[in-house]
Amino acid sequence: MRIKPSNGFIARPERLARLWGLVSEWMRRRFWTTSGACQTVALLSGVLLAMPVTLMPRAAASEPPLIPREVLFGNPEIAAVDLSPDGKRLVFLAPYNGVLNLWVRDLDGRSPARLLTRASRRPHDPAGWTADGRYLISSRDGDGDENTVLVRIDPTTGESVDLTPAKGVRAMLLAADREAPDELVVGLNDRDPRYHDLYVLSLRTGAMRLLHKVQDGRPVSVMHVDGDWHPYLRAEPLPNGGAAYELRLPGETTWRPFQRFDFNDARMSGPLGFTRDGLWLYGALTTGEDRPRIVRWHRDQLVRCGSGMDCRSELVHRSNAGAVGFALSDMETGVPTVLVETDLRSQRVVLDDAVQPDLDALERLAGDASFSILDRDRADRLWLVAISSSDRSAEYWLWDRERQTSRKLFALQPRLEQYALAPMESLDLKARDGRRLPAYLTRTTLTAEGPQPLVLLVHGGPQARDFWGYNSMHQLLANRGYHVLSVNYRGSTGFGKAHLLAGEGEWYGAMQDDLVDAVRWAVDAGIADPDRLVIMGASYGGYAALAGLTRDPQLFAAAISEVGPANLRTMLASLPPYWAAGRAMFERMIGVGRVDLDAISPINHVDRIQRPLLLGHGANDPRVKLQESEAIASAMAKRQLPIDFVVFPDEGHGLANPRNALAMVALVEAFLQQHVGGRAEPFGTAISDSSLEWRLRSLPKR
Q: Which residues are catalytic?
A: 539, 621, 653
CB count within 10 Å of CB 66 equals: 16
Neighbours of 282 (CB within 10 A): 21
| C-alpha–C-alpha distance, residues 317 and 161, integer Å | 44
For residues 458 and 473, is the Cβ–Cβ distance under 8 A? no
Do the Cβ atoms of 320 and 496 come closer than 8 Å? no
Phi, psi of 142 (to 5 degrees): -50, -65
Q: Give the distance, in angstroms, between the CA of residue 563 and the centroid of all CA atoms in the same chain.
A: 15
How far is the C-alpha of 264 from the C-alpha of 589, rounded, in Å? 11
Burial of 371 (0-12, 13-18, 19+ CB in 10 A): buried
Cis peptide before 462 (omega within 30 of 0): yes
In angstroms, how far is CA 107 from the centroid of its own chain?
29
d(CA 488, CA 470): 17
Q: Are 646 and 692 in contact (CB under 8 A)?
A: yes
Pairing of strands 424-430, 405-411: unpaired
User: What whole-number distance in Å separates Cα of residue 212 and Cα of residue 197?
Assistant: 6
Give me the helices (H) in 639-657, please: none
- What does residue 582 show for φ and ψ, rounded to 5 degrees? -105, 10
C-alpha 697, offset from chain centre: 31
CA distance 242 to 263: 4
Query: In whole angstroms, what is the distance from residue 89 CA to residue 74 CA?
Result: 26
Q: Nearest 5°: CA angle at 517, between 516 and 518?
A: 90
- Strand pairing partners for 115? 103
Distances (CA, A) of 351 to 13, 18, 335, 399, 593: 15, 21, 10, 21, 45
| Number of Cα atoms under 13 Å in the Cβ half of residue 204 | 5
* Distance from the first to the final alpha carbon of the chain: 60
Rounded to 5°, angle at Cα 542 from 581 and 588: 35
Cβ atoms of 224 and 275 within 8 Å: the answer is no
Please name every residue paired with 222 in a beta bridge, in sequence order, or none if there are none: 231
Report the distance separating Cα 20 and Cα 5, nearest Å: 28
Strand partners, 562: 538, 616
Cα 364 to Cα 358: distance, rounded to the nearest angstrom: 10
For residues 505 and 563, give the distance between their C-alpha atoms in angstroms, rounded to a whole number.
Answer: 21
- For residue 58, the tally of other CB atoms under 10 A from its CB is 14
